[in-house]
């Protein structure tokens, strides 16, 4: 997902006076319209139709992109140039026109035959959406959206596996701007029905001080244990990341506290930065919110949102378990103690001051899971959170803070809307040309009977796109193009879509890009490339877990209770063995000799993959290795020799 509204202020233009009030007014109007639509309200019998509602939101959020995001890194952060005002005005006119004529678009097929003024305004809207995508998602993302947005113009001239039906210029323009499967298609529908509420909730959490509470809670629970500073980083970043879904801003916000603490207690700068990068990157796969992607996934698969977060729960916990295990093993190897009790906050005091954050999270989950009111859950929870926050002076929002919250919400949602509207161009092109189906068929034919090759192709495509696109955009593209091929090969659909997500996120901790690791290295003062490779090692579970749950869907709770229990237990042991192989320390046994580490790694993989009797083979191999290594471990401990 895109960056949060806090922590990376250098990315945004400084707004004062009328411009700031415009952002606040537009944000407040968008929030009001979303509540009006999602609670099925009416005004003298009038209510939003879906097409009109989506154009209304687009007309409120897209103009803000040009007011908030400068055209380039060198552009002034203080003054708004005339062309940004013009772009904002043109979007208002275009979306306002479409809002007024929403029923004509819907009933008269304007995506096929539109009047000339609609064609011109559609073209203007598409151009400005691409520019908004460039400012928010980067040049590479913009170019990808431009290529696929224009794809229907030349689809018939592409190679066989990418070949589709071509259309004339104005037909493509009106379809992309006005059609139900493009910019006002699936991604924007998710924004209007689910995302806006959940993201307002996430921003409200931040502005009421949840970040400090999560950090204090982690310190109170884990600060004093062995390697406590690293475990605090993992726990707090997991909590924050699950709400925000932003890797980079999570690294900067929580990492500014946790990385210095890790360095102070004895962790090397590269290791400390890598721990924070991996913990922050895991937030995107951690329920309950998982950034924007979980909501899009639910819409793509046409399954309840609660089914997505239930399926994602076990793999995300396994990922963080692997991080905890490796941080603990490293601390044991290097004799890193926890922090002094007097340096950590008191647990009961922390809970007393911030209990309502946990109540709000529990209320959100209750409404989603048990009441099945996904589109309304976040709004109800946000209202409850604001009410509870008002009970304490320290978290109470005065008028100034409420304005800051509205401004931050508008900035956040403007960025997200621009990215997802541009993603709609990709979906529209794949839909109208029919390429999505033919591409999936060709990929399956290319892989033949080699299902592992097909999975490797999916992982490679996800990783490459994850380097140049936002995670949500990467997922949307591959959900249309690559995921159907894997499903066609016989894999469980939900496992396939989570597989794509995991490998898209992997680029944040994998060189040569590793944006999360590089951001953490800046905070830690460590070498970026060494930090990237350290993060790659610590985040090992992110590379193997997707293969584990695709081969064994019981890991995402698809199967009988006994199958699920068996899969979880064996995978936990397998993950522990993989962590031991990487760190050279088996918890409960001690430092492992070098020769044993490759065998522990193989045993861990065997326990993760459910092929035949591989789990039994893995356990036997691990036991044999430990028994063979024990005499040497005891001897070194007796004479005080270092690990081999």
Domain extents in the chain? 9-189, 559-644
* Closest among 619, 476, 497, 472 to 556, alpha carbons compared: 497
Helices 50-68 and 18-38 sit at what angle, rounded to 10 degrees?
Answer: 160
Q: Is 317 exposed, middle or buried (0-12, 13-18, 19+ CB in 10 A)?
A: middle
C-alpha torsion angle, residues 262, 264, 270, 271 (rounded to 10): -40
Give the integer Cα–Cα distance in Å for 227 and 335: 8
Exposed/middle/buried for 73, CB within 10 Å: 0-12, 13-18, 19+? exposed
Q: If we measure between CA atoms, which residue out of 285, 218, 215, 206 comes closest to residue 541?
A: 285
Give CA 138 to chain center in angstroms. Answer: 17
Only one residue has tokens 């490998």, namely 503
Q: Tell me if residue 13 falls in helix, strand or coil.
A: coil
What pLDDT does residue 202 have?
86
**Residue 31 confidence (pLDDT):** 95
Say which DSSP state 183 is in: T
Token pair belonging to 115: 């009047």
Q: What is the pLDDT of residue 513?
A: 74
Contact (CB, 8 A) for 353 and 213: yes
- What's the pLDDT score for residue 2? 38
* Cα–Cα distance, 318 to 398 (Å, whole number): 41
Which residues make beta-bridge pairs with 586? 590
Calpha distance 170→410 (Å, rounded): 33
In sign, the C-alpha dihedral spanning 306, 307, 308, 309 is positive
Residue found by looking up tokens 């690293």 in the block:
230
Q: Are the C-beta atoms of 479 and 489 separated by less than 8 Å?
A: no
Residue of 368, 41, 357 whose CA lies nearest to 211:
357
Give me the torsion for CA of 357, 361, 363, 365, rounded to 10°: 180
Q: Which among 374, 416, 432 is positioned nearest to 58, based on CA atoms?
A: 416
Q: How far apart, in whole angstroms, are the C-alpha atoms of residue 290 and residue 262?
A: 26
Residue 160's Cβ-count burial label (10 Å; 0-12, 13-18, 19+) is: exposed
Please tell me the predicted confidence (pLDDT) of residue 422.
92
441 exposure class (CB count in 10 Å sphere: 0-12, 13-18, 19+): middle
Which of helix, strand or coil describes residue 516?
A: helix
What pLDDT score does 640 carry?
39
Compute the distance between CA of residue 113 and CA of residue 484 in angstroms, rounded to an integer.
31
Q: How many CB atoms lie within 10 A of CB 190?
A: 23
- The count of other CB atoms within 10 Å of the CB of residue 367 is 19
**Structure token digits, residue 341:** 């009790």
Cα separation values, 137 from 184, 274, 416, 440, Å: 18, 24, 9, 27
Residue 422, H or E segment: helix 399-433
List average pLDDT for each run of 10 residues in the chain, which is 644 residues long.
Answer: 42 83 95 94 87 96 94 82 95 96 92 93 97 91 91 87 87 94 90 89 88 89 89 87 74 86 90 92 83 83 90 93 92 87 88 91 88 88 92 86 91 91 90 78 72 82 72 81 83 92 86 83 89 90 90 92 92 93 87 91 89 84 90 56 41
C-alpha span between 157 and 41 (Å, rounded) = 49
Indicate left, alpha or beta for 490 from its phi (over 0: left) and psi (-120 to 50: alpha).
Answer: left
């Amino acid at each position: 997902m895109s960056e949060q509204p806090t922590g990376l202020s250098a990315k945004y233009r400084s707004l004062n006076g009328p411009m700031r009030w415009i952002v606040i007014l537009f944000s407040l109007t968008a929030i009001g319209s979303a509540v009006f639509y999602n609670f099925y309200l009416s005004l003298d019998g009038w209510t939003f139709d879906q097409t009109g509602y989506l154009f209304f939101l687009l007309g409120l959020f897209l103009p803000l992109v040009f007011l908030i995001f400068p055209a380039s890194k060198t552009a002034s952060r203080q003054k708004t140039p005339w062309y940004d005002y013009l772009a904002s005005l043109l979007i208002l006119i275009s979306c306002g026109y479409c809002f007024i004529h929403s029923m004509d678009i819907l009933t008269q097929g304007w995506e096929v035959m539109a009047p000339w003024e609609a064609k011109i305004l559609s073209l203007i809207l598409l151009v400005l959406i691409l520019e908004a995508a460039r400012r928010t998602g980067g040049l590479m993302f913009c170019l990808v959206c431009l290529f696929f947005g224009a794809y229907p113009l030349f689809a018939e001239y592409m190679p066989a596996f990418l070949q589709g039906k071509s259309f004339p210029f104005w037909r493509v323009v009106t379809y992309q701007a006005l059609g139900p499967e493009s910019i006002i298609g699936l991604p924007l529908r998710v924004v209007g029905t689910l995302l806006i509420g959940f993201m307002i909730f996430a921003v409200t959490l931040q502005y009421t001080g949840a970040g400090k509470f999560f950090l204090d809670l982690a310190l109170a629970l884990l600060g004093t244990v062995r390697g406590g500073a690293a475990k605090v980083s993992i726990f707090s970043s997991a909590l924050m990341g699950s709400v925000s879904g932003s890797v980079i801003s999570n690294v900067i916000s929580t990492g500014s506290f946790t990385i210095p603490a890790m360095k102070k207690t004895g962790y090397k700068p590269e290791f400390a930065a890598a721990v924070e990068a991996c913990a922050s990157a895991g937030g995107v796969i951690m329920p309950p919110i998982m950034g924007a992607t979980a909501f899009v996934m639910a819409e793509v698969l046409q399954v309840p949102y609660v089914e997505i977060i239930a399926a994602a729960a076990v793999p995300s916990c396994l990922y963080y378990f692997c991080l905890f295990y490796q941080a603990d093993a490293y601390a044991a190897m290097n004799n890193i103690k926890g922090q002094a009790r007097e340096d950590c906050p008191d647990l009961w005091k922390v809970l007393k001051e911030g209990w309502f954050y946990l109540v709000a999270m529990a209320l959100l989950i209750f409404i989603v899971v048990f009441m099945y009111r996904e589109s309304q859950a976040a709004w109800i929870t946000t209202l409850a959170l604001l009410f509870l926050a008002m009970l304490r002076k320290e978290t109470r929002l005065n008028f100034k803070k409420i304005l800051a919250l509205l401004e931050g919400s508008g900035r956040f949602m403007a960025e997200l809307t621009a990215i997802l509207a541009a993603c709609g161009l990709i979906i529209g092109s794949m839909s109208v040309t029919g390429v999505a189906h033919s591409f999936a068929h060709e990929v399956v034919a290319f892989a033949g009977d080699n299902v592992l090759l097909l999975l490797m192709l999916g992982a490679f495509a996800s990783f490459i796109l994850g380097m140049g696109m936002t995670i949500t955009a990467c997922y949307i593209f591959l959900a249309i193009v690559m995921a159907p091929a894997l499903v066609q090969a016989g894999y469980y659909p939900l496992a396939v879509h989570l597989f794509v997500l995991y490998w898209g996120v992997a680029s944040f901790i994998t060189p040569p890009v590793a944006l999360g690791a590089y951001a953490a290295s800046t905070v830690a003062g460590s070498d970026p490339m060494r930090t990237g490779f350290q993060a790659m090692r610590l985040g090992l579970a992110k590379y193997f877990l997707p293969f584990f749950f695709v081969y064994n869907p019981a890991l995402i709770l698809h199967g009988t209770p006994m199958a699920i229990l068996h899969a979880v237990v064996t995978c936990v042991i397998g993950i522990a063995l993989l962590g031991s192989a990487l760190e050279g320390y088996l918890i409960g046994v001690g430092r492992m000799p070098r020769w044993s580490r490759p065998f522990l790694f193989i045993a861990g993989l065997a326990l993760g993959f459910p092929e035949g009797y591989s789990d039994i083979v893995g356990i036997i191999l691990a036991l044999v290795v430990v028994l063979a290594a024990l005499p040497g471990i005891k001897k070194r401990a007796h004479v005080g020799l270092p690990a081999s």
